[in-house]
Amino acid sequence: MKTNKKVAGCFLAVFMLLAVSVASASAYTTGIGNTINGSGDWIQTEVVSSESDGGSDGPSINVDSLGRAHVAWGEPSYSIFENPTYEVSYKYRTSDGSWTDAEIISGDAWDDCWLYIDLAVDSSNKVHVVWQSDSNYGNSGNDMDIFYRCRSSGGNWGPIEVVSQNNGASHVPTVAVDSSGVVHVAWHDDTWYLGSGVDVDIFYRYKSGGSWSSTQVISTGSVLGSWYPDLAIDSSDGVHIVWYDESYWTSSGVDYDIFYRDKPSGGSWGTRQLVSSGSNQHSYYPEVVVDSTGKVHVAWFENSDDVHYNSKPSGGSWGDVEVVSNEVNGGSHPAIGVDSSNTVHVAWHETDDYGGSGSDKDIFYRYKSGGSWSSTQVISTESTDTSWEPSLAVDSDDIVHIVWTDATDYQGSGGEDCDIFYKNDNYVPNQPPTVEITNPDEGDTVYGVVTVTGVADDSDGDVTLVEVKIDDGDWDTASGTTSWSYPWDTTQYSYGEHTIYARSYDGQDYSEVDSVTVYVDNEQEDYPPNACYTWEDADGKGLGTVINFDASDSTDDKGIVSYDWDWTSDGTYDETGKIISHDYDDTDQHDCTLRVTDTIGQTNTTTITVWADVEGGENRPPVAPDRPDGPTFGQSWRILHLFYKYYRPR
């Protein structure tokens, strides 16, 4: 997960951005799911370093068992125009997709951190971060040293520890943690230690039980420089390390090559192996991962400007070198990961107008599954400026997470500094909302002003809008969302059939359109409704104060749209429903009023005295309902059967 970056990267990029105009920006301005010849669906780019206004650089990413992405990067301690030094910043992405606030974790060990930062997460979700700095923290001296800090699963940071206790310059740390929580750290160092010589060598230490081991020299036998190590741990807690080396060894040639060593858990380091066999170009900046079968996968780039890859099965030999970036015009600084199905994922940066990505530098990605490489995808699709040096991790759900440094002014990140951008391939397509018209019904005859009603829902979000139109008219906004209504004046429409259409919207997609066809007839009169209801003690002779009400006997020639109940006839209608129950919490008599409303808003009320009784109560005579206002033309009255109870005292 290491990011091989120098502080000059962002500073130079920003200086060039201010000094000259960008000649050609990326053609990509779209976001979700915009991939090139690939099957992955990537989320829209997110800005990690949202608080930064200086020039963030050098990100490293890893993921925990909950799928949370943890990122550390370098942040300038003051203005980039004042020859900045860098502190180490950290934040993580929560399970709901939001980012925490940034934390500065380098404390007093931050003087010129130089952006060589690496981050690992162990099986208990502890976060382990290493970085280099020339701070004299802990009396480490004014030379460049390697520092380490751990964050507990509860979110508390432990003390800063000095890893490279020597007199030379220590650079480019890498960290990995095994299943027992043992922390493994490697770096390159120019210290003459244990006969390592005056050249730069690969050093290694581990921390177990709270204590650091003695330093070991990994690049033994090398007489020239050994640089940029990367570590990986296999499922048996074996340690694997790669680096690039200037030395001529086993016919590697005079060019720089990629070398590898491993150490089984509790064992000793094996012999050095050549990974970049057959290469006659300088090979740089390797990264290594190990899959569930113990197969080792390594990616690096050569000065031919191509990303290369090789692998070795457990107990086997290295295969033929493959070129990963052959679909684009080269590539450099690869990042590599592997998922639970042993699919290999590689990301890198390159300047190439691939698939219309523009002539600026972009982040590219491929994966290898079943022995074949996928088509290349552009990851930095929203970037319109330089994107470089990705870091990649794969979580337990096989979601790929990528971070990189970017000079694009995106989502208010600022156009004069660099920021840390993030993506993953867990884009879940939006599920469109639904809508249903509940009134009027298909085939109804309507007239006057009709209240069109309905419901809407969205399974993965919120309904933000419901629209209604009549026939081929324009869409008009209804009142409400999940429960909505729309007044339709049918007098403005011709006699005959007309269709009502409704659709809902969730901020991304519209629902399928629901419709009903009705018959408009404004030549017939619409008479007011009749309000009638029956009631009975819900508990019979049992103990209780609940009464059941049923307004099914209410009538209207065109239809009733609402039944409203005023439990104490105080003028305030308390509940709505045709069949409903109410607990009066006593056995007193109460005047209860029902109001019914028809399709054009005409109302009628009726009031009845009701009560709940208990066994052994007094005899109470039946109470007839109040007779509604006298009938108008076309109305008729019915004698309602009134339910009542006769209770005999004991």
Q: What is the pLDDT of residue 255?
A: 80
Weakest-pLDDT range from 70-74, 514-518, 603-607, 612-616:
612-616
Q: What is the pLDDT of residue 637?
A: 34
> Using omega within 30 degrees of 0 as the cis cutoff, is the peptide bond preceding 334 cis?
no
Q: What is the pLDDT of residue 442?
A: 96
3-state secondary structure of 398: coil
Residue 408 near residue 561, CB atoms below 8 Å: no
Other CB atoms within a 10 A radius of the CB of residue 571 amount to: 7
Q: What is the pLDDT of residue 13?
A: 42
Q: What is the pLDDT of residue 220?
A: 86
Residue 562 clears pLDDT 60, i.e. is over it: yes
In this structure, the strands spanning 306-312 and 296-302 are: antiparallel
Phi–psi pair at 257, nearest 5 degrees: -135, 165
What sign does the CA torsion over 75, 78, 81, 84 have? negative
Q: What is the pLDDT of residue 288?
A: 98
C-alpha span between 345 and 341 (Å, rounded): 11
What is the torsion angle, in degrees rounded to the nearest 10, for the CA atoms of residue 282, residue 285, residue 289 and residue 295? 10
Mean pLDDT, range 316-342, rounded to an integer:
93
C-alpha span between 200 and 226 (Å, rounded): 5
Task: Name the H helices within 5-120.
Answer: 8-19
| pTM listed for this prediction | 0.67
Mean pLDDT highest for which of 184-193, 301-310, 471-480?
471-480
Q: Does domain 527-650 have CATH number 2.60.40.10?
A: yes
Q: What percentage of the chain carries pLDDT values higher than 90?
A: 63
Other CB atoms within a 10 A radius of the CB of residue 622 amount to: 10
Q: Which two tokens stand for residue 309?
A: 């890859």
Q: What is the pLDDT of residue 63?
A: 97
Residue 231 near residue 186, CB atoms below 8 Å: yes
Q: Which two tokens stand for residue 616?
A: 């052994």
The confidence band for 445, taking pLDDT boundaries of 50, 70 and 90, is very high
Q: CA 184: distance to chain centroid? A: 31
Q: What is the pLDDT of residue 1?
A: 54
Q: Which two tokens stand for residue 332?
A: 């450099």
Mean pLDDT, range 3-14, rounded to an integer:
42
- Residue 119's contacts (CB-CB under 8 Å, 6 or more residues apart) are 1, 60, 61, 62, 70, 71, 72, 90, 127, 128, 129, 130, 175
Weakest-pLDDT range from 454-458, 560-564, 616-620:
616-620
Assigned CATH for 434-520: 2.60.40.10
Closest C-alpha to 298, from 307, 306, 615, 464: 307
The confidence band for 192, taking pLDDT boundaries of 50, 70 and 90, is confident
C-alpha span between 285 and 116 (Å, rounded): 13
Higher-scoring residue by pLDDT: 238, 557: 238
Q: CA 569: distance to chain centroid? A: 53
Weakest-pLDDT range from 168-177, 529-538, 627-636:
627-636
Residue 18 clears pLDDT 80, i.e. is over it: no
- The model's pLDDT over 359-393, given as tens digits with 9 standing for 90+, comes to 789 999 999 999 999 999 999 999 989 999 999 99
Residue 643 clears pLDDT 50, i.e. is over it: no
Higher-scoring residue by pLDDT: 621, 302: 302
- The model's pLDDT over 567-576, given as tens digits with 9 standing for 90+, comes to 999 999 999 9
Q: What is the pLDDT of residue 356?
A: 78
Give the residue range(s) of CATH 2.60.40.10 domains in the chain. Answer: 434-520, 527-650
Q: What is the mean pLDDT of the chain?
A: 84
User: Which residues partner with 555 through β-bridges?
Assistant: 530
Weakest-pLDDT range from 227-241, 242-256, 318-332, 619-633:
619-633
Amino acid symbol at 387: S
- The model's pLDDT over 134-156, given as tens digits with 9 standing for 90+, comes to 877 777 677 889 999 999 999 99
Residue 511 near residue 499, CB atoms below 8 Å: no
C-alpha span between 234 and 225 (Å, rounded): 27
User: Which residues partner with 47 through β-bridges?
Assistant: 421
- Cα angle: 400, vertex 384, 391; to 5 degrees: 30
C-alpha span between 607 and 624 (Å, rounded): 10
Weakest-pLDDT range from 36-40, 176-180, 258-262:
36-40
**Would you identify the CATH topology of the domain 8-424?**
Neuraminidase (2.120.10)
The confidence band for 213, taking pLDDT boundaries of 50, 70 and 90, is very high
Q: Which two tokens stand for residue 2?
A: 């290491």
Mean pLDDT, range 272-287, rounded to an integer:
89
The confidence band for 647, taking pLDDT boundaries of 50, 70 and 90, is very low
Q: What is the pLDDT of residue 7?
A: 37
Higher-scoring residue by pLDDT: 99, 114: 99
Element (H, E) at 9: helix 8-19
User: Which residues partner with 27 through β-bridges?
Assistant: none
Residue 53 clears pLDDT 90, i.e. is over it: no
The confidence band for 234, taking pLDDT boundaries of 50, 70 and 90, is very high
C-alpha span between 439 and 599 (Å, rounded): 9
Higher-scoring residue by pLDDT: 352, 80: 352
Residue 205 near residue 216, CB atoms below 8 Å: yes
Give the residue range(s) of CATH 2.120.10.10 domains in the chain. Answer: 8-424
- Residue 595's contacts (CB-CB under 8 Å, 6 or more residues apart) are 531, 563, 564, 565, 566, 573, 603, 604, 605
C-alpha span between 193 and 166 (Å, rounded): 8
The confidence band for 415, taking pLDDT boundaries of 50, 70 and 90, is low
